[in-house]
Structure 1
Amino acid sequence: MTVVQGTRTRRGTALGVAALGALLLGQAVGPAQAAPLAPPGECPAALTSAQATTGLVGEGLTVVKGRTPEPFRVEVLGVQPDGIGAGRDLVLIKVSDLPGGHVVDQGSGIWAGMSGSPVYVGGKLLGAVSYGFTSSPSPIGGLTPASDMAALLDLGSTKARTAERSSESSPKLTASVRRAVAARAGAAVPSGSLERLPSPLTVSGLSSARLERLQKDVTTADLPLRVFAGGRAAVPTAAPTERPVPGGNFASVLSYGDVTSASIGTTTYVCGDQALAYGHPDRFAGPARYGANDADAVAIVQDDVFGSFKMADLGGSFGTVDQDRLSGIRADLTKVPSTTPVTTTVRNADTGRSRTGTTGVVDRDLLPGLVPYALWANVDATFDEVGDGRLTDGWTITGTRGGGKAFTVHRNDTWADRTDASFEPAVALADAVYALTDNEEEHVTITSVIYDATVSTTFRQLRLTKVEVSTDGGKTWKKDAVRVKAGKKLTVRTTVKPYQGSKSIKKVITVKVPKAAKGLQANLSVFGGASLDGEGGDDTACLLEDSCDSDEDSSLSTVIKSIQSAPRNDELVVELQAGSDDEAKGDDDSDGKGDTLVLTHRELRQAEVVTGARSVAVEVR
């Protein structure tokens, strides 16, 4: 059955896997046979990897510029059994330009963004270009067989789950196979293994420094993406507006709006309400939910170091990617995806400039990883500088917990930084989103993130310089160690000093020693709230790969309480703690976890962000 191109007719059962078997019984085409490519339209018949005989010549389709597919020549060099995975053959190919063509020369071989480019022999689909040598430019690559991709058409669409780490392997060429391929291709085969082609990742709204950080994050998270600056696309709100064509651009969208992010590839197959693309996984998530969009190719960027790639901006909506598998991704062409809005309002206290922006995140598994970039995009646009500054913010996270019950988490804080006032606030919010979704007791769906901040170049900070303790109401002060009776009070005097200021600020607070502490070796700790920030370093990559450290045993209610009650950066925290002898003495070998009992906890609000820590040994009699 053939569906006329451009219609919305639903694919009939005749294109199920069972019926596709009949389509795969087309005659094998002999070696070196090359028929002029006639665009087969939708629902083409397919060939199997067994029909990919050495010397077989076909033609591929891909987009170099704009949206119009251009043809290129493909020669089969051989078939590597199980080259992609168990039971998944890899067709080894060499690509070249047709007379007057300029597909391969644009990228000096196979380039990132060709993934999914369909290859036809006699009007039948042989497969999709999907593998290449990423270490150096080469016309030699790999094809995912059409029969493997066709199996995606009948996969049931179930609830999307967290992306698993890919178990796909890099097809390895033995020395004998490498020699045979080189002889057949008439070209040297680069060292290393064939790998799935990396996907160009177009990202809008970020400065070059933020893009570099994002590239570092996706690389650390082992995501095969090449980040480049692109244009924004609006969240689709109605039915799809475009329809993919074989060989045309295909964008798998992670987010829309301020930070529009999407991997770029090529459409392989279109039939009825479905389309297939890439010929390899995007994130290998299985059941998935990404946006599916058209794109406009800007250029093929030649890069002999990291590999050439296609730059493109997003176009209209195709629908929703609902499957992300080893042999490719599948799109439902009947509906657009829903998103989680991350809305940010930023005011510049120095210039009066204010801006509200929204990033709609489609892939909710990546919500924690994309949240900081949504904040940075608006702060950079509104603050219009990176450097020392002061930021006050407030945010609200809403969502549903187990059983569908709604919850809300809210927090305010103050920040100060000599290099980037927006870095820690963005990571702190992302960590909160991650902690909520990563709890192990309840399934959580975040429905919105609302962020509000005021930023200025006025850097102000307090530093804790001295802590003194008295047991007689302030007549005598000690800095190192004190003895006190259980049930009595300790008078604590703190001294803080402003950044680049000479005037010290002293405050006094009393702490009652519980009677239950009798006979314990304790420690009086005083620290600024800002001293607690940055304990995770600057690692934001773990937010993308779902591997950040978290308290796995905490309930959702405990996580919410912990987020909302955590000390603010402009607070001075006074704690009397008791634990093991090593902990009480501040031994460096003590991990400070599990065995420490907080006897008394007080917080003092200060005028500015406070850093620094001091401690006094306490013997309770």
Structure 2
Amino acid sequence: MSLTPRRRRLLSLAMAATLSLGLPAAGFSVLAGPAHAAGPAGDCVQPFPLSGIAAGDEVEGLTVVSGTTPTGFTGEILGVLEDGIAPDIDMIMIDLDMPEFARTGGVWSGMSGSPVYAADGRLIGAVAYGLSNGPSPIAGVTPFEDMNDHLASSTDLRTSPKRLGKADARTVAARAGISVARAEQGFKELPTPMGVSGLSARRLAQLQAKGPDFITKSTYVLGKTSGDKAAGPETIVAGGNLASSVAYGDVAMAGVGTATSVCGDTVVGFGHPLALLGATTEALHPADAVYIQPDSLGAPFKVANLAPPVGTITDDRTTGITGTFGALPDTTDISSQVTYGARSRTGTTAVSVPAYAGEATFYQLVANQDRVVDGPSSGTQLLTWAITGTDNGKPFSLTYTDRWTSTDLSEPSYSVAILVDELNAIDGVSVKTVTAKAGVTDSLARHTLVGIEQRRGGAGGPWVRVSERSPIVGRAGKPVQLRVVLGGTAGKKTVTLSRVILPSKAKGQIFLVAQGGDQGDDEFFFDEEGEGTDEASVAAVRSGLSHQLRHDRIRVQVGTPDKLDLGWWGDDGDYRRSRGVSFVRTQTTRPLDSVVGGTTLLPVVVR
């Protein structure tokens, strides 16, 4: 199967409400008092034409430093960079000033979307870009004229703002107190970095370092609030906090920025894309800023708590995001129940953008397990999962149970997350629910396959250890009785197999292959051979799961080399087929009390 490219990220949480604000009065003044005491701007502010902007014009704006109430800032226009954002989308360069810059050094991530107003109160645009190297008060502003159509015609391509010419670089360098060479590197998007709640910073870094390839590597830890302490929809005003998530709940994945304009039940913000998804189903959230974290090497960033969702982000495009208050997006619901001794907990996460369901599944399963075990798990996990959804409109359900023993029990979550991700990549397939139930113990005991024994002399005869020098011996058309011998830290054990009846035409040498499930590949194959991914479908996944060998089972096969698929056998295997004999007898044991590792290949002499 060809997987769709992976992506992009930024993340957070959940609930609902409706917001309606009045229109601004004529001649409305955005900042009536000192910059730091500015109140929220009125609703449905009209755009200021880009053609009316001139270098030296003074501007005012709004953003949140702490809490939910916007604070004012001032600035001076330096000029307009033609096509500075994208073809036919100019960038307005502005030198901003506010008391907080003394600590942060300039604009910060999370300030994206902060509205900038002309002297007559009309909306010039949204702060969206900062200089490429380190903090600076020089901001690149996305014109509101290009955001005011609610993004319906914006370019669906993420672009890199162009470098500055010599004249513009000299102007910026003089105002920012940096070298011309540094200024020439131009602007970059103020990052709206991926944030994840539900995991500590240390744990998040561990998982990103060794998780599936679709796990985003550059994220930070978010907070979240609910109940009476959560910010409400009334806090999403021009200059107020605005967040957009692809998942929320136990685990939230969201980006925090600023609202540029609120008009009726519609909000426009950020001034650049969150994940550039175009038409989308992200969830719209209020947020409560905790503080602005300085960063001497890059842009400072806003640390915030996400509140439950209050609507849907419908567009995520080049010039920003647009959303509506009220109805929430449909979600894929992920639930995990973990039991560890006397402790048990069930957690849930809702995913509003299907492309992120695999990643959210991974985080949800690991976060809940870490919470119950109180740290990363080492031991044994018995995991049962179920996935439901639709396949071209028809409902489907998949389920599987397996036992894992590892010093890192986040590994089972990898496999489930990968499968969810791959299912969502199949045309016409939509995953609706993922449920997982896990029992965890501290035991690291394992079985190891150490040998095969054959009963000789009929019922009641002795069991004899077989080997390459002392092979299994049988008669054509007659049964042979075998058992598997196990050792390892889980203790000694024998598992008797069902009798294997050899075909009447089988004479000469054939083979036995035995494999413990903990020895194989943990990927879920799309067909019984573990290949054929170009034909990926729900039916193929179901078939692959039916042939998947559990870690606590043993598979034993007796047959001819062609049926055993012994790739190293070579052309010599043709002799068996030329005699008209081609067969395999397969049996799989019941689940054992521990995982089983090891493989063995032994000759079988048929007389």
| TM-score, scaled relative to structure 2 | 0.79
Change (3 A) 1:384 1:179: same
TM-fit CA distance, 1:173: 3.2
Change (3 A) 1:430 1:262: same
TM-fit CA distance, 1:231: 2.3
Name the residue aligned to 1:411: 400
TM-fit CA distance, 1:416: 1.0
2:325 to 320, 323, 333: 333
TM-fit CA distance, 1:245: 0.5
CA distance, structure 2, for counterparts of residue 142 and residue 66 of structure 1:
25
Say yes or no: does 1:384 pair with 2:371.
no
Name the residue aligned to 2:568: 585
Root-mean-square deviation over aligned CA pairs: 4.0
Q: Is the 8 A contact 1:424 1:534 kept in 2?
A: no
TM-fit CA distance, 1:260: 2.4
Q: Is the 8 A contact 1:199 1:226 kept in 2?
A: no
Task: Describe how 1:92-491 pairs up with structure 2 within 5 A.
Answer: 92-97=93-98, 101-102=99-100, 104-122=101-119, 123-133=121-131, 135-152=133-150, 154=152, 167-174=158-165, 177-188=168-179, 189=182, 192-213=185-206, 226-233=219-226, 241-242=233-234, 244-349=236-341, 352-403=342-393, 405-417=394-406, 419-421=407-409, 423-440=410-427, 443-466=428-451, 477-479=466-468
Q: Is the 8 A contact 2:354 2:424 kept in 1?
A: no
Structure 1 unmatched ranges of 5 or more: 1-5, 12-25, 27-33, 157-163, 235-239, 537-548, 588-596
Say yes or no: does 1:611 pair with 2:597.
yes
CA distance, structure 2, for counterparts of residue 516 and residue 77 of structure 1:
91
CA distance, structure 1, for counterparts of residue 225 and residue 500 of structure 2:
55
Q: Secondary structure at the match of 2:73?
A: strand
Per-residue CA shift, 1:274-317, capped at 9, x if unaligned? 11111111111111111111111001112224532111112354
Q: Is the 8 A contact 1:348 1:382 kept in 2?
A: yes
Q: Is the 8 A contact 2:243 2:257 kept in 1?
A: yes
Per-residue CA shift, 1:96-136, capped at 9, x if unaligned? 22xxx32x234221211111111111211111111224542
Per-residue CA shift, 1:225-262, capped at 9, x if unaligned? 6412412548xxxxx95462011000102222211232
Q: Percent identity between the aligned chains?
A: 34
Amino acid at match of 1:556: V
Amino acid at match of 1:256: Y
Amino acid at match of 2:249: G
Per-residue CA shift, 1:57-109, capped at 9, x if unaligned? 31221100001111122333332222222222222333222xxx32x234221
Q: Secondary structure at the match of 1:178?
A: helix
Name the residue aligned to 1:544: none
Change (3 A) 1:380 1:7: closer
Q: Secondary structure at the match of 1:105?
A: helix
Bigger relative contact order (CA 8 A; separation at least 6): 2
CA distance, structure 2, for counterparts of residue 218 and residue 309 of structure 1:
26
Q: Secondary structure at the match of 2:589?
A: strand
Structure 2 unmatched ranges of 5 or more: 1-17, 28-34, 525-530, 571-581
CA distance, structure 2, for counterparts of residue 582 and residue 220 of structure 1:
30
CA distance, structure 2, for counterparts of residue 516 and residue 175 of structure 1:
87
Amino acid at match of 2:359: G
Aligned length: 549
Q: Is the 8 A contact 2:215 2:359 kept in 1?
A: no
TM-fit CA distance, 1:44: 1.3
Amino acid at match of 2:199: L
TM-fit CA distance, 1:50: 3.9
TM-fit CA distance, 1:270: 1.1
| TM-score, scaled relative to structure 1 | 0.77
Name the residue aligned to 1:8: 20
After the TM superposition, which of the residue ranges 177-186 and 293-302 deviates more from structure 2? 177-186
Q: Secondary structure at the match of 2:337?
A: strand
Change (3 A) 1:578 1:219: closer
CA distance, structure 2, for counterparts of residue 81 and residue 515 of structure 1:
84
Change (3 A) 1:316 1:192: same
Per-residue CA shift, 1:144-173, capped at 9, x if unaligned? 1111111325569xxxxxxx9964225333
CA distance, structure 2, for counterparts of residue 222 and residue 340 of structure 1:
18
Say yes or no: does 1:531 pair with 2:519.
yes
Q: Secondary structure at the match of 1:313?
A: strand
Larger radius of gyration between Structure 1 and Structure 2 = 2
